[in-house]
Structure 1
């Protein structure tokens, strides 16, 4: 693991954390931050196996514990299986789940089919429902409680052209967390969302120069987000420092949403 950072969350030693979509850049950043805090990380991926294995290798080389688990989270039984396997690997415990896996296609609403809509909703929302339900059952049985964090988006409240299905799914993810916080709270489980703004990645500035320019102009801190910025937020929400925080949407966008629109 490169770029060691000061611990921010005071995670209990031996915590087991499942991060879905851990083969992507954002998932990698989240996973490495949890590992840097001393958590054992179960890294879910669907097709990005090599990338997930590289994250696992980085964790192990730094003295941590990691495992890679494959599953198609658009299938309910696969959601339950990956949660079960993560808990079994963790010795019967699962302390935190980060629902990061999802898709973000660009498609105009007038030509969108119901199948197109369902594909995004299943990947971004139904998977969150099923993984959370399965994880909550494990956390309740362990009698330690736990935390669930969904990765939503600033687009949950600020839709972009061509992202109707994506924005709607992320808005529903935010509301799911609020409802789950109420119903799982008595089980000792906190549920929150993190809503990132634009997170930089290799090649983004070349592929979308105008969009990157506009974001940099809009962001109060003058830069795009980094995966570890989102990772810090997830670690905080999973830690005792956030023990009275649940049903909350933590916006991590560098101040872009604070910019006036007039």
Structure 2
């Protein structure tokens, strides 16, 4: 049974219907936080996540909203305003455009870049903009800096990944983490987690079961720790940034990739 060290805290996790966002939300609920679960289209999965959070004792609400728009971010902030404050914000929602051959410059269009930036970079900024007063209010009431976590990627550090556009957005998100951590302290502390491979539907929806198993085995073989991470593995590290254990940490970018960055060859090159 997890310690209820986040009891009474209010959290918003974007893109939390499935995958890593869902795992982070469940771990926050287990530790006592109340939650806003967010999705754009995955309503049935989001409802399942809400139900699981409720079973863990959290007061949970579901808000369908597109974080790439000012309207969507305002909708999420308005939902959080019912609490009067926001202690935790996780910018997890993200998209990609798959073009794994980075030398094929014709594989991506201008619109691919704009769409990916809209969700992966503009989205976290717009949501921070909308939620800043609530995050500052939590600091005023508690004397404890509110915690923001940006879910980035190894792609933003090494330039590998599903596409050049995706890697570029995650690099931009890492830089924005530094800029805002400096600018918004001491009321708000902002960190980023950079996963490597995560076994989620991003891959599972594009591959049959045999292809996915081969891919997972290949990833495990390529990492120094010899494992292929799942959402819970990353979420355990991510939640550190949302608790008092990291109360003196801001502007940090943490690679959680089983050592992949130490020597990784793209899957297509093996």
The alpha-carbon deviation at position 115 of structure 1 amounts to 1.4
Provide the residue aligned with 1:201 in structure 2: 200
**Paired residues for 1:59-78 under 5 Å:** 59-78=53-72
Residues of 2 paired with 1:239 and 1:148: CA distance?
11
**What is the 5 A alignment of 1:133-172?**
133-142=129-138, 143=140, 144=142, 145-160=145-160, 163-172=163-172
CA distance in 2, matches of 1:110, 1:162: 15
**Separation of aligned partners in 2, 1:260 and 1:232:** 23
1:248 aligns with 2:252: yes
Q: C-alpha displacement at 1:74, in angstroms? A: 1.4
Corresponding residue of 1:129? 125
Equivalent in the alignment of 1:93: 85
Unaligned runs of 5+ in 2: 266-270
- Is the CA contact (8 Å cut-off) linking 2:84 and 2:137 kept in structure 1? no
| 1:238 counterpart SS class | coil
Residue 235 (structure 1) aligned to one of 215, 239, 244: 239
Measure how far apart 1:84 and its partner are.
2.2
Any unmatched runs of 5+ in structure 1?
A: none
SS of the equivalent of 2:249 reads coil
Distance 2:160 2:262 in 1: 17
- Structure 1-normalised TM-score? 0.89
Q: Distance in 1 between matches of 2:115 and 2:256?
A: 26
- Tell me the secondary structure at the aligned position of residue 206 of structure 1: helix
What TM-score results when the alignment is normalised by the length of structure 2? 0.86
Q: Deviations over 1:110-155 (max 9, x none)?
A: 2422111100000111001111222222111341441110000001
1:210-221 aligned within 5 A: 210-221=214-225
Q: 1:74 to 1:201 in 2, by over 3 A?
A: closer
What are the within-5 Å matches in structure 2 for residues 103-114 of structure 1? 103-107=95-99, 108-114=104-110
Distance 1:62 1:103 in 2: 29
Determine which structure has greater relative contact order: mean sequence separation of CA pairs < 8 Å that are 6+ residues apart, divided by chain length: 1
| Structure 1 segment 22-61 matched on structure 2, within 5 A | 22-61=16-55
Equivalent pairs, count: 252
Give the RMSD, CA atoms, in angstroms.
2.0
* 8 Å Cα contact 2:190/2:251 also seen in 1: yes
- 1:170-205 CA-to-partner distances (Å, cap 9, x unmatched) read 01001101000000013x210000001111236466
